[in-house]
């Protein structure tokens, strides 16, 4: 398996969200020789999607994804507002030439205990967004989130569940496989093989720390935790996945407090030695 060189890396801008606005992240990725980046929509909208697209293109960077569409359950029903926002996300993904629009699908509606109902609402939202995305040529990537987020962020929690949805919805929809969310799953390698190149749209890196002190913002740098990242990378690459290795670290206590250029350098080092 080839070592990950900088041009095979993508910076998910959440990793440096405390330090860099999007224009700075674009410059930072170019300066450190990254192959691409994956912006979040709040930062993209702050800069302007057209302007961002130009800057990204001028910097010679690829866009491994746009984070994020979804949140279909946020208003307790699949409202026009939710669907319109997802269409806007599709348009933004098209504008910046994103390899996919990453979907964090939403958890239980406020006050609800009906997870089956939430999952039906999510699938309906995905189907309607996919319908639009197909017309503009944007790929939809369902990101199964770790089961600890089932209540409040995403009720799609395994690759198997995401792929079952993909099978029902057809072409143009696949998965974003984030090692943080899937490493624990006894079926992870079987489901990566089931996804295959056709459904593997994104591959996200970070690490699971022991102990984990915050359920959202205590992700680790690759190598600092317990995930067998090389094993998972080998599995996706065995299927022919050739997208960038996207680094997405939420870290209020550590990496968000460091100098962003130092973070980039450590990412490059760890990608080469721990992934």
Q: Which residues bind its own copies (CB under 8 A)?
A: 108, 112-115, 119, 146-148, 150-152, 155, 157-158, 160-161, 183-186, 208, 210-212, 215, 225-228
Please say whether the beta carbons of 112 and 150 come within 8 A: no
Geometric angle at alpha carbon 43, from 102 and 138, rounded to 5°? 30
Residue 152 is classified by DSSP as T
- Considering the complex, state which of residue 139 and residue 233 has its C-beta at the smaller distance from its own copies: 233
Helices (H), ranges, the chain: 22-31, 41-47, 49-58, 80-95, 115-136, 159-169, 179-182, 188-199, 229-238, 260-274
**Would you give the end-to-end CA distance of the chain in angstroms?**
10
CB of 152 to its own copies, least distance (A): 5
Minimum distance between the CB of residue 216 and its own copies, rounded to whole angstroms?
9
Query: Taking the complex as a whole, how short is the minimal distance between the CB of residue 66 and its own copies, in angstroms?
Result: 26
Comparing CB distances to its own copies, the nearer of 89 and 154 is 154
Q: Kindly tell me which of 18 and 184 has the beta carbon lying closer to its own copies.
A: 184
- Minimum distance, C-beta of residue 64 to its own copies, in the bound complex (Å): 25
Between 136 and 193, name the residue whose CB sits nearer to its own copies.
193
| Angle (CA) 169 173 174, round 5° | 120
């Amino acid at each position: 398996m080839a070592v990950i060189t900088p041009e095979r890396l993508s910076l998910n801008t959440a990793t440096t969200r405390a330090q860099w606005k999007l224009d700075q992240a674009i410059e930072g990725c170019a300066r450190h020789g990254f192959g691409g980046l994956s912006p979040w929509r709040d930062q993209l909208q702050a800069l302007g999607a057209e302007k961002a697209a130009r800057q990204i293109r001028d910097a010679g960077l690829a866009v491994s994804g746009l984070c994020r569409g979804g949140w279909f359950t946020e208003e307790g029903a699949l409202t026009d507002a939710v669907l319109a926002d997802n269409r806007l996300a599709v348009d933004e993904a098209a504008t910046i030439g994103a390899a996919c629009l990453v979907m964090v699908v939403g958890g239980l509606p406020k006050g609800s205990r009906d997870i089956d109902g939430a999952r039906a609402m999510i699938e309906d939202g995905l189907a309607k967004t996919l319908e639009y995305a197909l017309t503009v040529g944007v790929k939809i990537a369902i990101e199964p989130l770790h089961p600890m987020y089932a209540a409040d962020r995403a009720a799609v929690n395994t690759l198997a569940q995401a792929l079952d949805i993909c099978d029902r919805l057809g072409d143009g929809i696949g998965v974003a496989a984030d090692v943080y969310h899937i490493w624990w799953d006894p079926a992870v390698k079987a489901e990566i093989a089931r996804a295959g190149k056709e459904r593997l749209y994104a591959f996200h890196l970070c690490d699971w720390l022991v102990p984990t002190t915050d359920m959202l913002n205590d992700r680790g740098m690759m190598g600092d935790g317990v995930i067998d990242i090389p094993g998972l990378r080998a599995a996706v690459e065995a299927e022919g996945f050739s997208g960038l290795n996207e680094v997405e670290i939420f870290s209020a206590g550590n990496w968000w407090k460091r100098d962003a250029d130092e973070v980039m350098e450590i990412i490059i080092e760890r990608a080469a030695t721990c992934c």
